[in-house]
Structure 1
Amino acid sequence: MGVVLGEFDEICEGLGVPWKVKEKTEDLRKSIEEFSFTGQKRKGIYVATFYAACRKMGVPRSYKELADASGVSNETIIKSLKFLSEKLDLHLPPYDPRDCVTYLVEKLDLSESVGDKAKQILEKANEENLVAGRNPFGVSAAAIQMACSSEDVEITYKKIADAATITTVSIRSSRKEMKDELDSNFS
């Protein structure tokens, strides 16, 4: 487990997560010590515990970010997470899109006013039931794009999509739906 733990420290540092996530990951890892894992499966389980800790602590990170940082495939992370959820009876809340906005605004080095505007858009979209059941990164990215547009901040769909690890099509789709449904002072 030592090699995996050393790699895990590097992953945490590379993804810039708070200490509380690392502590929660350790708690989850200790909960599964009774199960025996080897090699890549062990690493997949460990990355999945990290993802579960992020979800539990409201620290948005995508499967793709974890896959890129750890060298474990999305599929392995998802399978390992399913295993963890079943064995530990985990109930992982979806990410709050407002937390995703905060994370993406910081990652994209955008202003606080863009973040505030994006959160207003999300709040209005939530009131219109446009957020529930949607990818929180997708609706957050769309709200950021709308906020940038209303604040005259130039940024490409691609740059936002890359930061959110989603496609530009996802942003355009969420943006269109939100724009069509909201009294768009937010164009």
Structure 2
Amino acid sequence: MSSRHIYENGFDEDCGRTLSGTCPECEGDLETDSGETACEECGLIIDEYRVDHAATPRNFDDAERSTEHTGRPITPSRHDRGLTTEIGHYRDGQGQLLSRAKRQQLGRLRREHSRARWGSTAKQNLGHACGEIARLVAALDLPFSVREEASQLFREAQDANLIRGRSIETFTAGCVYAACRRRGQNRSVQEIADVARCPTEKVWLGYRILSRDLDLATGLVRPVDLLPKFADEADVPKQVERRAFELAEHAEHEGIANGRSPSGVAAACLYLAAQETGFILTQERLEEIAGVTVLTIRARYQELRGER
């Protein structure tokens, strides 16, 4: 029986290939790591592991043939769901330069391909909306799932004929805000309006139309969900943030937060927690962070203290 390690010179899947234990260049020892056999002295790569265990088994039986492995998955974030075909300009598939006649022919093909891609005004609007949604998501540093959700909402709004007579920018901003609400991303309307090409009122308009006509199921925004973001921007100590969480949970339990702006309640909880712990935090600073007025913060602060 051999006393060597089973993977010292190779792998079981090497189909009988034997690797020597010394480097052919410097006579150094060989080491196999992650399927790659290299010399420890000079770094010369002797062999590589060619079996890909990440690939899933495929069945090519005609009776059970599947197309799930053909190409990249489709995505609603592209106007054509990611199935775009691009025609090159100067080189062919082997990297060879094209002749002048061939380049002229490809130019005509690109023109007809572009006309076929934007065959209708609806497709042009969808392409513009997908690009605008991608820009907003990138500017707000949101995950790709929000982009797909917002793009799908715009498609549903377009199919329901909600876009006609209204601005595309209004609906793209509203779709991004609705996707944030559905995906649990705490972004305010003001944050979206700051990077969108429409004011805050238009963002609210687009969201209200989507929520009313598409019957969107969006979760409620709670003050405790906004506290981490406000506390991070205000740069408060951890003890202030923990106390603010306790106050926010108390406000929800006692019904103080019912019918109130979550941002105003969260800002008031943070202000009261800072007052109790001796941390200096002004109402004007919380006004900038939460996007609510000082009067709102003061009113919620007085309610938390039981003065009303």
Q: TM-score range by the shorter chain?
A: 0.7 to 0.9
Residue identity matched to 1:69: V
Partner SS, residue 134 of structure 1: coil
After the TM superposition, which residues 49-128 of structure 1 pair with which residues of structure 2 at under 5 Å, given as runs? Answer: 49-128=175-254
Q: Contact conserved, 2:133 with 2:151, CA < 8 A, in 1?
A: no
Q: Using the TM superposition, name which of 124-133 and 108-117 deviates more.
A: 108-117
Which one has more relative contact order, counting CA pairs under 8 Å at least 6 apart?
A: 1
Q: Quote the Cα distance in structure 1 between the aligned partners of 2:274 and 2:147.
A: 33
> Which residue number corresponds to residue 28 of structure 1?
153
* 1:172 is aligned to 2:298: yes
Q: Using the TM superposition, name which of 163-172 and 32-41 deviates more.
A: 32-41
Q: Quote the Cα distance in structure 1 between the aligned partners of 2:251 and 2:144.
A: 32
1:33-55 per-residue CA deviation (whole Å, 9 max, x = no partner) reads 32374797111101001111111
Larger gyration radius, structure 1 or structure 2: 2
Q: Quote the Cα distance in structure 2 between the aligned partners of 1:150 and 1:12.
A: 38
Q: Using the TM superposition, name which of 106-115 and 123-132 deviates more.
A: 106-115
Q: Quote the Cα distance in structure 2 between the aligned partners of 1:81 and 1:36.
A: 12
1:82-101 per-residue CA deviation (whole Å, 9 max, x = no partner) reads 21122211132321211111
Residue identity matched to 1:59: Q
Q: Quote the Cα distance in structure 2 between the aligned partners of 1:109 and 1:14.
A: 23
Deviation of 1:108 after TM superposition, in Å, equals 2.5
Residue identity matched to 2:197: G
> Which residue number corresponds to residue 137 of structure 2?
12
* 1:46 is aligned to 2:176: no
Structure 1 vs Structure 2: percent identity of aligned residues?
Answer: 27
Q: Quote the Cα distance in structure 2 between the aligned partners of 1:19 and 1:144.
A: 31
Q: Which runs of 5+ in 1 are unaligned?
A: 183-187
Deviation of 1:3 after TM superposition, in Å, equals 4.7
What TM-score does the superposition give when structure 1 sets the normalisation length?
0.84
Q: Using the TM superposition, name which of 53-62 and 161-170 deviates more.
A: 53-62
Q: Contact conserved, 1:55 with 1:92, CA < 8 A, in 2?
A: yes
1:62-81 per-residue CA deviation (whole Å, 9 max, x = no partner) reads 22222122131222112211
> Which residue number corresponds to residue 152 of structure 1?
278
Partner SS, residue 267 of structure 2: helix
What TM-score does the superposition give when structure 2 sets the normalisation length?
0.53
Q: Which runs of 5+ in 2 are unaligned?
A: 1-125
Q: Quote the Cα distance in structure 1 between the aligned partners of 2:237 and 2:136.
A: 27
Deviation of 1:2 after TM superposition, in Å, equals 4.4
Q: Using the TM superposition, name which of 2-11 and 153-162 deviates more.
A: 2-11
